[in-house]
């Protein structure tokens, strides 16, 4: 992520604890519900959520994970998110400047959730981030991307390009949910449908 983008986030979170209204807007609540419903497993052992912001999605993911690592590149966002998950001992929030500080030392993740962060990277950094996802995704792991589609001043690449880069990792796509406002996709190393996983067919 560029220095200019990091400065933008530092200024943004210095002015507001919830600059995107993730705690107050029905749009955000509904989008989180769709993302959670799209996950192919009820529980995950080890999950990573980079770009966690103030931790609203982190709180929603926490009941579905045995261990959850969340991160953000903005110090103020990390501070707010840490306060919000302080009562959850299985959840950690760290300061990561991505893709350079991707937590490879943590081992393989069963779930990686990229929510509203990929378009802040330029194409080269997005390719590297995608490679990090692939390298640290467990044998049956799930990769999720959910991103705003409309243009805005701080966007570095299009959502379509970011998702195309992820789609070229060779993982099986389990779901594509497309609306005018956002795109949600789910890929996995396990290409079976949820019905197949559950033994229904």
The count of other CB atoms within 10 Å of the CB of residue 76 is: 18
Sheet arrangement for strand 172-178 = 91-95, 65-72, 44-50, 109-115, 137-148, 182-188, 172-178
Please report, for the chain, the start and end positions of each structural domain, with discontinuous segments joined by +: 3-197
For all residues of the chain together, what is the average pLDDT? 94
In sequence order, what are the beta bridge partners of 187?
A: 143, 173
The CATH architecture assigned to 3-197 reads 3-Layer(aba) Sandwich (3.40)
Q: What is the pLDDT of residue 1?
A: 63
When pLDDT is cut at 50, 70 and 90, the band that residue 155 belongs to is very high
When pLDDT is cut at 50, 70 and 90, the band that residue 23 belongs to is confident
**DSSP assignments along 133-184, one per residue:** HHHHEEEEEEEEEEEE-S--TT--S-HHHHHHHHHTT-PEEEEEEE-SSEEE
Q: Write down the pTM of the prediction.
A: 0.94
Q: What is the pLDDT of residue 9?
A: 76
């Amino acid at each position: 992520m560029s220095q200019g983008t990091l400065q933008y986030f530092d200024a943004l979170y210095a002015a507001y604890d919830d600059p995107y209204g993730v705690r107050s807007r029905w749009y955000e609540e509904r989008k989180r519900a769709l993302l959670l419903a799209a996950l192919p497993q009820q529980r995950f052992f080890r999950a990573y959520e980079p770009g966690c912001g103030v931790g609203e999605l982190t709180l929603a993911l926490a009941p579905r994970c045995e261990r959850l690592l969340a991160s953000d590149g903005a110090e103020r966002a990390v501070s707010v998110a840490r306060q919000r998950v302080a009562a959850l001992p299985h959840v950690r929030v760290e300061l990561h400047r991505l893709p350079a500080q991707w937590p490879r030392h943590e081992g393989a993740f069963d779930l990686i959730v990229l929510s509203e962060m990929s378009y802040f990277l330029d194409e080269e950094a997005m390719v590297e981030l995608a490679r990090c996802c692939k390298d640290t995704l467990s044998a049956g792991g799930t990769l999720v991307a959910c991103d705003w589609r409309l243009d805005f001043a701080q966007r570095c690449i299009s959502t379509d390009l970011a998702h195309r880069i992820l789609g070229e990792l060779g993982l099986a796509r389990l779901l594509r949910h497309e609306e005018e406002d956002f795109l949600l996709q789910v890929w996995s190393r396990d290409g079976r449908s949820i019905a197949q996983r559950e033994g229904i067919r």
